Chain A
């Protein structure tokens, strides 16, 4: 026998189920009057620094059908590349930007929508620079453990080419699944495919 490491095991994940809205966006689900507003709806205000963008998209299953009961959360740096988090040790992020958003897929179309700002670049642990990106976390009925992925920007070709994550992906054909499409005027579309030829790259982070 040796000494015990004494570590606990992480609580196992269970699906968010079809009624995740009740707990996470109750006003959206029709439960009004308990919370003043659903958390994560507003990420920016008039004083937030940075280029305003919108990110819309759908999460699409293996039959090509958009999930209409999905919940999407995003997490991103501010315009200077700093995170509004006590875990951020590099400086003070823009206090007018939360960096975190939460949006349910529309119950008819499945579309999610975030009004945010374009994030700055942030460093990789070895000092290289990561291209501007937004972290996505997806939960829904039928998803047993939340799926992490990232959205990168189509107008950052040089930065994307040098990005430590994108540049080490073996199957280059899959890299475009992490890059949003621009529809002009700061509007980006990022569809997430759970399966199929265009299956989005998901991350074990």
Chain B
């Protein structure tokens, strides 16, 4: 990198440190599976090196035409899944508020009855022959993404005797750096199950939980067709490297 001072964001800056008090801790005994799966030792801090600052990219050309349309990507020709038709849209941003372009976003969910299409799934609600439950897209220049699906149902799960997951969509997101890698879940405005869910309650603060609840977005609803929910995703920001000393060639 040349010695001259740059006013733009250097691509070599490390991410802001993760606020571990904002994220769920590893050990959350009310979510029982976390008990044997939570590391007990302190994490070793490592400011981002080139191994963490870099990350894989995925080209738009890898996407199939129906990858972001869960209503159609598994359905038989001329058929549709049962359920409430919705559009989920938003932007992938970083903590500096900049849109993250070219971010691969993958999503998966249960069907309208709360049943997943998976070998290990045993809930008695039926599969929908027209619903697979997976989709993906890549963000535009401004970080925008959208997909169409049906609203997933809540479902019971073995934890407490009577625990139910609120309706939710799982998200996996890539940024530009591998250290930005994130998996999370989106919830729906107004669902009373959110505040009873042991997995939701792994997140310490109400404010952080609320950042996972997508509001109903009537302005972007398609009349007589599908309601819209808006879900922005924030990945870690990157610091500027303006005054950092770097050896030639780094």
* A residues with CB within 8 A of B: 6-24, 26, 29-31, 33-36, 39, 61-63, 65, 67, 69, 73, 75-77, 83-90, 98-100, 107, 122-127, 130, 133, 135, 137, 139-148, 150, 165, 169, 174, 194-195, 199-205
Contacts and interface: CB of A to CB of B under 8 A. Distances in A.
Interface of B: 1, 11-12, 14-20, 22-26, 28, 31-41, 43-58, 64, 66-67, 73-74, 93-97, 106-108, 116-121, 132-136, 170, 172, 176-179, 181-185, 199-200, 202-203, 208-209, 211-212, 233-237, 244-247, 249-250
B56 A99 contact: yes
The B interface is mostly helix, strand or loop, or mixed, namely loop
B128 to A, nearest CB: 13
12 contacts: A10-B22, A11-B184, A13-B183, A23-B106, A29-B118, A75-B55, A87-B54, A88-B50, A145-B26, A146-B181, A199-B40, A200-B39
A202 to B, nearest CB: 5
B26 A144 contact: yes
Given A8-B93, A195-B40, A23 B25 contact: no
Contact of B132 (A21, A31, A130): A31
Given A10-B234, A14-B24, 20 more contacts: A10-B23, A11-B235, A12-B184, A12-B212, A15-B34, A15-B183, A17-B170, A26-B134, A29-B118, A31-B74, A35-B64, A67-B37, A83-B54, A87-B11, A99-B56, A107-B120, A140-B37, A145-B26, A165-B46, A174-B41
Contacts of A65: 36
A146 B175 CA distance: 14
A143 B183 CA distance: 11
Given A11-B234, A77-B51, A144-B28, A126 B179 contact: no
Nearest to B173: A11
Contacts of A100: 55-56, 178
B90 to A, nearest CB: 10
Contacts of B49: 122-125, 130
B39 A199 contact: yes
Contact of A30 (B15, B44, B118, B246): B118
Residue of A34, A165, A169, A199 with most chain B CB atoms under a 10 A cut-off: A34
Contacts of B183: 13-16, 20, 139, 146
A29 B4 CA distance: 51
A144 B132 contact: no
B47 A135 contact: no
